[in-house]
Structure 1
Amino acid sequence: MTADNLGPEPAMVLVRPQMGENIGAAARAMLNFGMTRMRIVAPRDGWPNPAAVAMASGAGRVLDAAQVHDDLAGAVGDCDFVFATTARSRDLTKPVYSPERAMEMAAAMRAQGRKVAVLFGPERTGLENDEVAKANAIISVPVNPEFASLNLAQCVLLTSYEWRRQATDVTHADDGMAGADWASAIEVEKLADHYEARLDEAGFFYPPEKAPGMKVTMRNMWPRFSMTRQDVQILHGVLRQLLRGKP
């Protein structure tokens, strides 16, 4: 299935949010990771909220497109699968997933054209049990059990980040050396010869009985540096400059 035929990204549903600033911060977190579908249920201070707009700082389009609902049932009525985020243990029998696993599932459901929502509770109390009961599964963030409280925007950001990892190709490592002009084995060998000869002349390999082992250790060191040709040239030049004018 091509990207154009995929179902929509998960809807991020803020249930009874208390502060406009947190709604705006959540919008910024969403847009950071390419998410735009926000739904707001019964915001305490009404809607629209100037504080949310000010805090969104460039992510106003997420707020402009946000759906506002009076109740949770209306917010998720068109969804096929609902996750509820909570840090508290519940007495409800539901599967519990990490944000990573939950968004893996969301991506798989998206590929099937199914609609997914993620619920986030109000800042002070989180979701109530009757709200969690409306979800198919729980997302639990592995936080410090002695300080498990997450800011609303932080929780939205964590989930949005995990969605981004599933929805796009992520570069997990880049050493910045793509296209580098790497030194050949013979160039590294000649550099090792140069340093060994000069250090031998300077009496570095002492006492004599330890010299062979010291030389092997140094020979083993050079290939580990993964040098470019420029690196090799510089190191030759450093040694020549240090010895310039010396007998």
Structure 2
Amino acid sequence: MAGTDHTQPAILHDNGPAIILVGPQLGENIGKAVRAMYNFGLTDLRLVAPRDGWPNPAAWPAAAGADVVLDNARIYATTAEATADLHHVYATTARSRDMKKSVITPRRCADLMRRQVSQGHKVGVLFGPEKAGLKNEDVAPCAAIVSVPLNPAFASLNLAQAVVLVAYEWFQAGDETPAEYIPELDTRPATGEEMQGLFDHLESELMKSGYLRHEERRPVMIRNLRNMLSRARFTHQEVSTLRGVIRALATMGGAGWQQEKAARETDGNPEKE
């Protein structure tokens, strides 16, 4: 259940593709496929002649909390019955078929289904039994074959993996999450006054430590430091933490350079400025 936040509203796609499992064998595999569905807001589960009957008690623990999908699963005797109300059906398979039919990736399939759903059409995706996959008679009526680009020497996916790939692409096709963002935390960006306080504090301690002792190089060094710190876009809390670090370092070793310089002068080996 890692990552689950029950305080957040569920994103459900009531008009999303039906996930049709044809002849599924193990209850655990059905549950794992359902978990994959619910991760991406899909709730229309259709089971065609499950081998071990239904309900299968092994499915619920494997679903890891996606009970609403299992509780509302619909059972059919044949694939034709399971797809009778759908306008467009796609068949997932990794095997080549002796038929002339478009082969598309899950991403292309998601794009097509999004367009079809926007037109008021109902869509679905077929997944075959774990051991042998779909039969040709199940594939033949479908609009296209969905095939995942994989390592050709090892193109074996289990049922849940196949479902998660299709469901993920469906979700992504309509998701507007930016490719990169910084989560908003319970703080605010540092103000200009706070950043100036950080600059002044750091430069003061660096003067005391001797780091900025060379007057001719000091302006460039200060400018570089301010530029680096400004790029970080610190929050108020981060500026406070960094100033605490500066204070701690200054307290523990702020006089180190002065002590070292005095020791060298005592030994008759003053540092060359």
TM-score tier (shorter): 0.7 to 0.9
Identify which of 192, 199, 202 aligns with 2:209. Answer: 202
Q: C-alpha separation between the residues in 2 aligned to 1:56 and 1:197?
A: 59
Q: C-alpha separation between the residues in 1 aligned to 2:119 and 2:190?
A: 49
Q: C-alpha separation between the residues in 2 aligned to 1:24 and 1:84?
A: 20
Q: C-alpha separation between the residues in 1 aligned to 2:145 and 2:213?
A: 66
- How has the CA–CA distance of structure 1 residues 200 and 88 changed in structure 2, closer, same or farther, with 3 Å as cutoff? farther
Q: Paired residue for 1:10?
A: 17
Identify which of 81, 86, 99 aligns with 1:79. Answer: 86
Quote how far apart the aligned CAs of 1:186 are: 4.7
Q: C-alpha separation between the residues in 1 aligned to 2:157 and 2:69?
A: 22
Identity of aligned residues (%): 47
Identify which of 56, 62, 71 aligns with 2:69. Answer: 62
Q: Paired residue for 1:44?
A: 51
Q: Paired residue for 2:184?
A: 177
Pair 1:104-2:133 in alignment:
no
Q: Is the 8 A contact 2:35 2:66 kept in 1?
A: yes
Number of corresponding residues: 242
Structure 1 residue ranges without an equivalent (≥5): 1-5
Q: Is the 8 A contact 1:16 1:42 kept in 2?
A: yes
Q: Paired residue for 2:267?
A: none
Pair 1:93-2:95 in alignment:
no
Q: C-alpha separation between the residues in 2 aligned to 1:37 and 1:189?
A: 57
Q: Paired residue for 1:30?
A: 37
SS in 1 for 2:75: strand
Q: Is the 8 A contact 1:7 1:113 kept in 2?
A: no
- How has the CA–CA distance of structure 1 residues 121 and 188 changed in structure 2, closer, same or farther, with 3 Å as cutoff? same
Quote how far apart the aligned CAs of 1:57 are: 4.8
Q: C-alpha separation between the residues in 1 aligned to 2:151 and 2:213?
A: 54
Which of 1 and 2 has higher RCO (CA within 8 Å, sep 6+)? 1
Quote how far apart the aligned CAs of 1:12 are: 0.7
Q: C-alpha separation between the residues in 1 aligned to 2:51 and 2:160?
A: 16
Q: Paired residue for 2:245?
A: 238
Q: Is the 8 A contact 1:41 1:70 kept in 2?
A: yes
Pair 1:118-2:129 in alignment:
no
- How has the CA–CA distance of structure 1 residues 156 and 42 changed in structure 2, closer, same or farther, with 3 Å as cutoff? same
Letter in 2 for 1:26: A
Letter in 1 for 2:27: G
Q: C-alpha separation between the residues in 1 aligned to 2:181 and 2:135?
A: 43
Q: C-alpha separation between the residues in 1 aligned to 2:27 and 2:249?
A: 64
Letter in 1 for 2:66: A
Identify which of 219, 223, 227 aligns with 2:230. Answer: 223
SS in 1 for 2:211: coil
SS in 2 for 1:28: helix
Deviations 1:114-148, CA, capped at 9 Å, x for gaps: 11010101111222333222210122223333322
SS in 1 for 2:80: helix
Q: C-alpha separation between the residues in 2 aligned to 1:151 and 1:30?
A: 14
Work out which of the two has the higher radius of gyration on C-alpha atoms and give 1 or 2: 2
Q: Is the 8 A contact 2:14 2:44 kept in 1?
A: no
Structure 2 residue ranges without an equivalent (≥5): 1-12, 259-273
Quote how far apart the aligned CAs of 1:155 are: 1.5
1:187-198 alignment, distance < 5 Å: 187-198=194-205
